[in-house]
Chain A
Amino acid sequence: MAKMSIAEALRQAIREEMARDPRVFCLGEDIGIKGGFGGAFTVTLGLSDEFGHERILDTPISEIGIAGVAIGAAMAGLRPIADVQYGDFLFCMMDQLANQAAKMTYMSGGTVKVPMVMRAPVGATGRGAQHAQSLEAFFTHIPGLKVLAPSTAYDAKGLLKSAVRDDNPVLIFEHKLLYGSKGPRSERGALSPIGEVPDEEYLVPIGKGVIRREGTDVTIVGKLLTVYRALAAAEELAQDGIETEVIDPRTLVPLDKELILESVRKTGRLVIVEEDNLTGGWAADIAAIVAEEAFFWLDAPIKRVSAPDTPAPFAPVMEQFYVPGEERVVEAVKSLF
């Protein structure tokens, strides 16, 4: 077992997959420049020394091009791992992801595969409205894309490796406050989810969620950073005798629906926590699934804890208000009893 941050775990996953399969390569902005950043959050730091600049391919600032090249390369036999510096930039390449990557297999009647990975950092971190959004829900709405949201080092490594081996386009969302609190590009307020990562090879299957904490009175579903907010809230709620079950789906598409339904059938209460805006969000979708499929097990209304329907604000005090914190989660849970 080695202890590593999520950034290190992702790097190790890339390193192992590139060593295993010569078709795997990375492309993105500032990922392999000598003396550069190793990607916006250091995930590819040092990899160009190991694998060379052909396989850690620095691109111009051309998000449409990055996505298009990744898609084309995947269609013709490579296994690209592309990234954007900030998830917000995915909007620049939206046609390539939504119209091309997601639909190519379908339009070809299943004869063309697009085995590409797109990594994207999300989350509000003091940078204002255009480097802050949590975009996962947008992509869960597009059939043909798989969407992953790892919140631990173990999952980050295992899921990225599974994504590289998947024959479909896979988006991996990574929270900026979870990469690790040390290192040259660490974020103010970052958590340190240093996790145990086995030395031997392993994969985390796409489509399997996990129970982070067992409980009997209420289910909280979170993803990325909000898993940690939920766990902190659960600690506090335990002081009041409320036993909270915390579920981390890890994969948003395909969703491990049964894990959530089973938990709600046990606890009778559901709170969903996410950093995205409320309207048309992922939390709404989870709420709808539970309302349709586990309504008669519910003892209380379903609660969503999301960011308000505004862009991410800049001022730290406003940002703190905007991002759902532990207190809002506790309050939402208590309102159900």
Chain B
Amino acid sequence: MSNSKTPLLDMYRTMLTIRRFEERCNYLFMQGRIPSTLHLYIGQEAVATGVCAHLRPDDYLLSTHRPHGHAIAKGVAPRAIMAELFAKSTGCCKAKGGSMHVGDVNVGMFPAIAIVGANIPIAAGVGLAARRLGTDRVAVCFFGDGAANEGAFHEGLNMAAIWDLPVVYVCENNLYAASTPFPLAFKIENVADRAAAYGMPGVVVDGNDVEAVYQVAGEAIDRARQGEGPTLIECKTYRLCGHSRSDPRTYRSQEEETAWAAKDPIPRLAERLKEKGLATDETLTAIEQEVTALIDEAVAFAEESPPPEPTDALKHVF
């Protein structure tokens, strides 16, 4: 897959969809139209997009408490995600999941797992099943830098490595575990350095450069698909918003935020597209309009959908 022509324009559309989707979520949330909390992915769109561009619908994805971007990139319908956020019965989890658990197995995304690091050994199991059932499916597991300090990270990566499982571990190092800065929790520079301890390749990549992510992910996914085992990819990135809905981000400096805003992956890709002659301002405006329409439709669908019955709480325990 990595040898095929890089689908830059498609990736731009996906990244913009994630960005505008989440901006809309935030707006709706501030208005009190959607309940709960939100962990926004704004700033990290290149990671989910660059990785998922290689995946087939029958490949697997395991996500985190910050899953909207992964879901959109994997092909979960934005209207089904939005309806889930609105706690409507038409949501991708029938309003049983909410923001932190969105997913749709029909496109290979399990409900997102909101316990930090817990998806890591589960991804190994998914990879084991994919291989044992004689398929060439791959499992991709996203997690943040914080997850790399969980015991589950150690156990999961080790088991994936010893059994050469078709799993790609993607650490989105956005430099903060909630408010805790990376150097406070790591004695090393790179999470990917830990890959050596498990006998798997570890790769560091600029997570705000979708072309670079696409390149690295393609190699890792090919490797997994060919039965050569797991890879740990570390994408250095930054969330341009707070950790969750009530985060004023007072633990980060204005200078740091400004510097990272200048590396925003979306304008960066827009520039590349124009440089390469793959898009004009008109093309990009057209995509913008298309994305806006998609999100308008998702919101309308969610708002018009019926809520679940209170007693639906009793269903789906088994």
Instruction: Using CB atoms and an 8 Å cutoff, list the residues of chain A in contact with chain B.
Output: 23, 25, 54, 59-60, 62-65, 67-78, 80, 95-96, 99-100, 104-112, 143-144, 146, 167-168
Residues of A within 8 A of B128 (CB): 69, 72-73, 78
Residues of B within 8 A of A112 (CB): 105, 110-111
Q: Is B298 an interface residue (CB 8 A)?
A: no
A-B contact pairs, 9 of them (CB 8 A): A64-B155, A65-B124, A69-B121, A72-B128, A73-B125, A99-B118, A100-B115, A100-B122, A112-B110
> Measured between C-beta atoms, what is the minimum distance from A144 to chain B in Å?
6
Residues of B within 8 A of A108 (CB): 93, 96-97, 101, 103, 105, 110-111, 316
B129 touches A68 (CB 8 A): no
Q: Kindly supply a per-residue 1/0 record for chain B positions 103-114, scoring 1 wherever the CB is within 8 Å of any chain A CB and 0 otherwise.
A: 111100011010
B124 touches A72 (CB 8 A): yes
B120-137 interface (Cβ within 8 A of A): 120-130, 132-133
Comparing B17-25, B156-164, B260-268, the segment that makes contact with chain A is: B156-164
A112 CA to B102 CA, complexed, in Å: 12
* Given A70-B125, A108-B110, 13 extra CB contacts under 8 A: A23-B132, A62-B121, A62-B155, A65-B152, A68-B124, A71-B122, A72-B124, A72-B125, A76-B139, A100-B113, A107-B96, A109-B91, A168-B318
Residues of A within 8 A of B132 (CB): 23, 25, 54, 73, 78
> Measured between C-beta atoms, what is the minimum distance from B37 to chain A in Å?
16
Instruction: Using CB atoms and an 8 Å cutoff, list the residues of chain B in contact with chain A.
Output: 60, 62, 91-97, 101, 103-106, 110-111, 113, 115, 118, 120-130, 132-133, 139, 151-152, 155-156, 158-159, 162, 315-318
B125 touches A107 (CB 8 A): no
Residues of B within 8 A of A65 (CB): 121, 124, 152, 155-156, 158-159
B122 touches A75 (CB 8 A): yes
**Nearest neighbor of B155 in chain A, beta-carbon distance:** A65
A99 touches B155 (CB 8 A): no
Residues of A within 8 A of B318 (CB): 105, 144, 146, 167-168
A112 CA to B93 CA, complexed, in Å: 10
Residues of A within 8 A of B317 (CB): 105-106, 143-144
A109 touches B96 (CB 8 A): yes
> Measured between C-beta atoms, what is the minimum distance from B313 to chain A in Å?
9
A60 touches B162 (CB 8 A): yes
Residues of A within 8 A of B97 (CB): 107-109
A109 touches B124 (CB 8 A): no
Contact partner, A68, options B60, B110, B122, Cβ 8 Å: B122
> Measured between C-beta atoms, what is the minimum distance from B178 to chain A in Å?
18
A95 touches B118 (CB 8 A): yes
Residues of A within 8 A of B162 (CB): 60
> Measured between C-beta atoms, what is the minimum distance from A74 to chain B in Å?
7
> Measured between C-beta atoms, what is the minimum distance from B147 to chain A in Å?
12
**Nearest neighbor of B315 in chain A, beta-carbon distance:** A110
Residues of A within 8 A of B152 (CB): 64-65, 68, 95-96
A135 CA to B268 CA, complexed, in Å: 55
A107 touches B111 (CB 8 A): yes
Residues of A within 8 A of B103 (CB): 108
Residues of B within 8 A of A78 (CB): 128-129, 132-133
